[in-house]
């Protein structure tokens, strides 16, 4: 049993949208196929992965460092001999040989993307949906719950949008079964942002909620000014007000905003996540953590992050990852996370759910597909099959 090849292709996920920090007109991602010599149903098992938006494809780092290390390793050093499978933890350690500690960016995406494909292969070799495999190996003893909370992330700024464009977009999410929607803030003035928020709030019925996201743009003064203005609304959360590494700002902000806050999508290791927990003043009874395994060295590292959270008194239920990919859906179902981000209109065909999965009251139910479940989404699987062909 061995990995015989790892392929990568960098794809544009360009779009005319922008958030408060960047525009996406030149954004890319990496699509990866991990080809094994294991045969299931007459075909070689191939695991797939891709990184989520915002941090660019990382094919060059994969080809220079991470893929050669895996392919040059003696196959027995990557095996889970007990289960007759590949061992994602051993693959991970092999990838990270000769990497110094600290400096968690870019390579965390390269490793996270390959790691996703390895877990997809491992679950397929085990003939299980990944969420069931995770519940059995790492869960709390209960079986996986295939029902996962999802919210619709959108409300980016785009040319010619206006309030009408924004409310039309948000109504579209509500019509498709989402009861929690998210929009960006910080791309206009506070007054403009309040107008936009109020326009969306008018659309919402009972039980429906709005989250807002500043994408790390604000300094402390602006973050506090927004906190005071946002306090008048009953928002689902106030996300990433300041620089993701400015834990002091986040902690200070909690003195000015007693409703839920969220952050973490730009922290790419257990160590960075731990610093948020240690120093960021985040409150385990109401705040949300958005670490995204696809950008953060994958599930092997995310398991360390979940252990760290437990040691610090945080429930996995407070995690709602960034990124809108099926890997985090599987983790949410298998390990009891609080839910997952979703981009109904963006980053296709990579984001989203298997075909036929419906959102009802912001809940999706994962189908019983082997692996992560990419084969259930025809447009995505067409790209994956082409890469592996």
- Which residues would be at the binding site for its own copies (CB under 8 A)? 21-23, 26-27, 54-56, 60-61, 64-65, 97-108, 215-216, 243-248, 266-269, 271-272, 274-275, 278-279, 295
- Please say which residue, 267 or 357, places its beta carbon nearer to its own copies: 267
Give CA torsion, residues 135, 139, 143, 146, to 10 deg: -60
Residue 54 CB, nearest distance to its own copies (Å)? 5
CA dihedral over 257, 258, 262, 263, signed as positive or negative: positive
Cα 132 to Cα 76, 189, 195, 297, 320: the distances in Å are 26, 46, 44, 22, 19
Annotated catalytic residue: which of 131, 182, 184, 325? 184
H/E/C letters for each residue in 183-224? EECCCCCHHHHHHHHHHHHHHCCCCCEEEEECCCCCCHHHHH
CB of 337 to its own copies, least distance (A): 21
Smallest separation, CB 274 to its own copies (Å): 8
By C-beta, is 128 or 266 nearer to its own copies? Answer: 266
Q: List Cβ neighbours of 297 (8 Å cut-off, separation of 6 or more).
A: 92, 96, 104, 108, 111, 112, 115, 268, 269
Residue 271 contacts residue 63 (beta carbons within 8 Å): no
CB of 103 to its own copies, least distance (A): 3
Q: Return the axis-axis angle of helices 190-203 and 162-175, rounded to nearest 10°.
A: 40
Terminal Cα-to-Cα distance of the chain (whole angstroms)? 20
Task: Tell me if residue 256 is catalytic.
Answer: no
Structure tokens at 330: 């599987």
Task: Respond yes or no: is residue 184 known to be catalytic.
Answer: yes
Of 13 and 369, the one with the shorter C-beta distance to its own copies is 13
- Per the residue annotation, which of 124, 131, 322, 325 is the catalytic one? 322
- Residue 25 Cβ vs its own copies, minimum distance, rounded to whole Å: 8
CB of 338 to its own copies, least distance (A): 22
CB closer to its own copies out of 85 and 266: 266
Q: What percent of the chain is helix, strand and coil (3-state, nearest 5)? A: 40, 20, 40
Q: Following DSSP, what letter does each residue of 269-319 receive, concatenated? A: SHHHHHHHHHHS---TTT-EE---GGGTTHHHHHHHHHHHHHHTT--GGGB
Pick between residue 244 and residue 373 the one whose CB is nearest to its own copies: 244
CB closer to its own copies out of 269 and 342: 269
Query: Coil, helix or strand for 52?
Result: coil
Residues labelled catalytic: 184, 322
């Amino acid at each position: 049993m061995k990995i015989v090849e790892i392929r990568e292709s960098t794809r544009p996920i360009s779009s005319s949208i922008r958030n408060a920090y960047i525009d996406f007109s030149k954004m890319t991602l990496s699509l990866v196929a991990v080809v094994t010599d294991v045969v299931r149903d007459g075909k070689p098992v191939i695991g797939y992965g891709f990184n989520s938006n915002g941090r660019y494809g990382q094919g060059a780092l994969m080809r220079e460092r991470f893929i050669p290390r895996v392919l040059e390793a003696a196959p027995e050093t990557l095996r889970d001999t007990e289960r007759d499978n590949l061992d994602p933890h051993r693959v991970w350690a092999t990838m990270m040989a000769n990497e110094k500690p600290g400096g968690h960016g870019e390579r965390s995406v390269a490793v996270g993307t390959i790691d996703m494909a390895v877990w997809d292969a491992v679950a397929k070799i085990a003939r299980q949906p990944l969420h069931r495999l995770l519940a059995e190996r790492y869960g709390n003893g209960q079986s996986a719950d295939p029902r996962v909370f999802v919210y619709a992330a959108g409300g980016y700024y785009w040319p010619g949008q206006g309030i009408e464009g924004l409310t039309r977009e948000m109504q579209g999410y509500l019509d498709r079964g989402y009861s929690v929607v998210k929009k960006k803030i910080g791309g206009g003035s506070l007054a403009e942002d309040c107008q936009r928020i109020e326009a969306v709030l008018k659309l919402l019925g009972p039980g429906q909620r709005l989250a807002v996201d500043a994408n790390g743009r604000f300094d402390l003064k602006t973050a506090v000014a927004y906190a005071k203005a946002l306090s008048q609304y009953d928002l689902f959360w106030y996300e990433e007000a300041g620089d993701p590494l400015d834990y002091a700002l986040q902690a200070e902000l909690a003195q000015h905003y007693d409703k839920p806050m969220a952050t973490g999508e730009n922290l790419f290791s257990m160590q960075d996540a731990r610093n948020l927990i240690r120093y960021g003043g985040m409150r385990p009874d109401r705040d949300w953590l958005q670490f995204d395994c696809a950008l953060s060295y994958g599930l092997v590292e995310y398991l360390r992050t979940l252990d760290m959270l437990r040691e610090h008194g945080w429930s996995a239920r407070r995690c709602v990852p960034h990124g809108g990919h099926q890997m985090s859906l599987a983790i949410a179902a298998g390990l009891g996370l609080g839910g997952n981000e979703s981009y109904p209109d963006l980053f296709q065909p990579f984001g989203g759910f298997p075909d036929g999965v419906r959102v009802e009251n912001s809940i999706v139910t994962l189908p019983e597909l082997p692996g992560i479940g990419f084969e259930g989404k025809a447009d995505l699987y067409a790209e994956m099959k082409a890469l592996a062909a």
